[in-house]
Amino acid sequence: MKKLSIIGIIAFSLSFISCGNIQGNQPDEKPAITENNNDTNEAQVEYLTYESFKEKVWDFEANPNDWKYEGDVPCVIDFYADWCKPCKMVAPIMDKMAKEYDGKVKIYKIDTDKEKKLAGVFGIRSIPTVLFVPQEGRPAMQAGALPESEYKRIIEETVLNNKK
């Protein structure tokens, strides 16, 4: 019993870890990101670039002082890096939520090493950082890896406005 509670405490503690100071961390090894294969009908996480972010989320160059969400459904954006261990813990959660919320919420990812300008626009200082974007209103941001249940709670309450 004692062994089980120690493992539980360690697992819970690790869920709130993030990689700080993203500018100063160096990758151990950087695997290539493969683009989504749309041969299946299964919902997937979509990787955004600087240009696709402006088209699908917010054109901050055209509207620098006004948040105007461009999407047709709310979204969640995971700012990550390939070398970040907590980001790797969050990745399967985002994949699962892309399938679970298919048609209701889009799940996007932004590689902070490749898209430094986007990370700068949002002042990303530690990763993972997740941006929760409702259809109407301002987005909310959460830094650090969280358990799946917390991401779902935030999506339900903030993104889909399903207050309990």
- Tokens read off for 130: 């997740």
Catalytic residue among 75, 76, 81, 87: 87
Determine whether 75 is an active site residue: no
C-beta of residue 48 within 8 angstroms of C-beta of residue 57: yes
What is the DSSP pairing of strand 106-111 with strand 46-47?
A: parallel
pLDDT value of position 58: 96
CA–CA distance, 164 with 133 (Å, rounded to integer): 19
Measured CA to CA in angstroms, residue 140 lies from 31, 130, 134 at distances of 30, 8, 9
pLDDT of residue 100: 97
Q: Which of 84, 98, 105, 159 is catalytic?
A: 84
**What per-residue confidence (pLDDT) applies to 62?**
92
Q: What does the alpha-carbon distance between residue 124 and residue 146 come to, in Å, rounded to a whole number?
A: 17
What CA–CA distance (Å, rounded) separates 12 from 85?
15
**The predicted structure's pLDDT at residue 16:** 46
Task: Check residue 52 and give its pLDDT.
Answer: 97
Residue 43: the pLDDT is: 87
Task: Find tokens 């709310």 and name the residue.
Answer: 74
According to the model, what pLDDT value does residue 164 have? 56
pLDDT of residue 41: 66
- Domains of the chain plus CATH, in order, are 2-20+43-159 (3.40.30.10)
Residues of the chain with pLDDT under 50: 1-16, 21-39
Residue 10, token pair as written in the block = 């360690």
Distance CA 143, CA 64 (A): 23
pLDDT at site 162: 74
> How many DSSP H helices and E strands does the chain contain?
5, 7
Q: Are 135 and 103 in contact (CB under 8 A)?
A: no
Q: Is 87 part of the annotated catalytic residue set?
A: yes
